[in-house]
Amino acid sequence: MKKYIGILKNTKLFAGAGEEEIQAMLSCLGAVLHHYKKGDYVFRAGEYVHNLTVLVEGGLHIQKDDYWGNRAILGDVAVGEMFGEAYVSPDSGALLNDVVAVKDSSVIFFDIYRILSVCPSACKFHSLVIKNLFFEISEKNRKLVAKLGHISNRTTREKLLSYLSDEAKRNKSSAFSIPFNRQQLADFLSVDRSAMSNELCKMRDEGLIEFNKNRFVLL
């Protein structure tokens, strides 16, 4: 787990803490490292979560499959991001979504009860982690509102333009890469893949965008 200290230092959860302090806090917070192969489930819908989790290697998707096998990708988890925090409250109930590794991944699990309780050593960085957790949950809520803004548009083009515009703003560049392939992007925006691909080609022909795989340029 020591090799991931540098990654943890750059996460929002441990913002403001040094590598030595993080190393000391790992046992305090009950940290456990798990590895997953591509396609493995980190969590399945219906499970109960008692841990805060941080991805330190690989990539994950938060997704939901309906009775007929239709899939909606609700979000992606990049290295350094935490997930599952919405379900750690005793009153949150079971998970509504699956969390799946889209590449070989490593995840650190932190005991949420240890995070929210004052540790015996009363380390000064414990309260910092709690504060950072609050700010990160607020940021996750902002992202959820942003996604609702994308999918609330009526047409496939409007959904694409809304999403791509936000990605350009987030990257502070008209050229950027997205964390989805075509099928995953269609699932994320809740649109048909074929219709979306056709719309992307039309937008390219009209001089609105250029793209190559998951790399986009807004013109």
- Quote the pTM value: 0.75
Cβ–Cβ under 8 Å, residues 111 and 53:
no
- Cβ count near 132 (within 10 Å): 19
Instruction: Dump pLDDT digits (tens) for 122-136.
Output: 567 778 888 888 888
DSSP string, 54-79: EEEEEEEEEEEE-TT--EEEEEEE-T
For 159-171, write each residue's pLDDT tens digit: 999 999 999 999 9
Q: Compute the Cα dihedral for 177, 165, 191, 66 and give only its sign.
A: positive
In contact, 178 and 214? CB cutoff 8 Å: yes
Secondary structure class of 98 (helix, strand, coil): strand
The rounded distance, in Å, linking the Cα atoms of 57 and 114 is 24
Q: Domains in the chain, please, with CATH?
A: 2-140 (2.60.120.10), 153-218 (1.10.10.10)
What is the C-alpha separation between 152 and 142, in angstroms, rounded?
Answer: 15
What's the CA gap between 11 and 3, in Å, rounded? 14
d(CA 8, CA 56): 7
Task: Give the model confidence (pLDDT) of 29-84 as tens digits.
Answer: 889 999 999 999 999 999 988 888 999 999 999 998 887 888 888 889 999 999 88
